[in-house]
Amino acid sequence: MSIAGKRPKLIATDLDGTIVVHGEGYDNSQIRQRTVDAFKKAHDLGIHIYFVTGRPPRWMSEIRDAFGFGNSICANGAMLYDFVNDEVLEEWGIPIENQKEIARVLREHIPNISFAIEYGDEFHHELAYVPRWDIGVDMQPIAKIEERMVRPAFKMLARCSDYDMTSDEMLEIAQREVGHLATITHSNPTESLLEISAIGVSKGETLAKIAERHGLTADDCVSFGDNPNDFSMLAWAGRSWAMGDGHRDGIKYAKFVAEPHHTDSVARIIEELIELPA
Sketch out the chain's domains with CATH numbers: 10-92+202-273 (3.40.50.1000), 96-198 (3.30.1240.10)
Q: Is 256 helix (H, G, I), strand (E, B) or coil?
A: strand
Order across the sheet with 48-52: list the strands: 87-91, 79-82, 71-74, 48-52, 10-13, 221-225, 239-243, 256-258
Q: Count the neighbouring beta carbons within 10 Å of the beta carbon of residue 5.
A: 12
Burial of 133 (C-beta count, 10 Å sphere; 0-12/13-18/19+): exposed
Q: What angle do CA 227, 231, 237 make, to 5 degrees?
A: 130
- pLDDT at position 138: 55
- pLDDT at position 164: 85
71-74 vs 48-52, strand pairing mode: parallel
- pLDDT at position 95: 98
Residue of 122, 90, 203, 108 lying closest to 158 (CA atoms) = 108
Q: Is 165 helix (H, G, I), strand (E, B) or coil?
A: coil
Q: Is 225 helix (H, G, I), strand (E, B) or coil?
A: strand
Alpha carbons within 13 angstroms on the beta-carbon side of residue 87 total 4
Instruction: Dihedral sign for Cα 36, 242, 21, 89, please.
Output: positive
Residue 100 to residues 10, 107, 138, 149, Cα–Cα distance (Å): 37, 11, 21, 7
- pLDDT at position 24: 46
193-198 vs 155-160, strand pairing mode: antiparallel
Which residues of the chain are modeled with pLDDT < 70?
Answer: 1, 23-28, 133-139
Q: Count the neighbouring beta carbons within 10 Å of the beta carbon of residue 235.
A: 16
Which are the contacts of 162, defined by CB distance < 8 A and separation ≥ 6? 111, 112
Residue of 31, 37, 34 lying closest to 53 (CA atoms) = 31
Whether 200 and 206 have beta carbons less than 8 Å apart is answered as no
What residues form DSSP beta bridges with 79?
A: 74, 91
Q: How far apart are CA 106 and CA 276, in angstroms?
A: 48
Whether 73 and 52 have beta carbons less than 8 Å apart is answered as yes
Alpha carbons within 13 angstroms on the beta-carbon side of residue 177 total 16
Residue type, 234: L
Residue of 272, 215, 262 lying closest to 239 (CA atoms) = 272
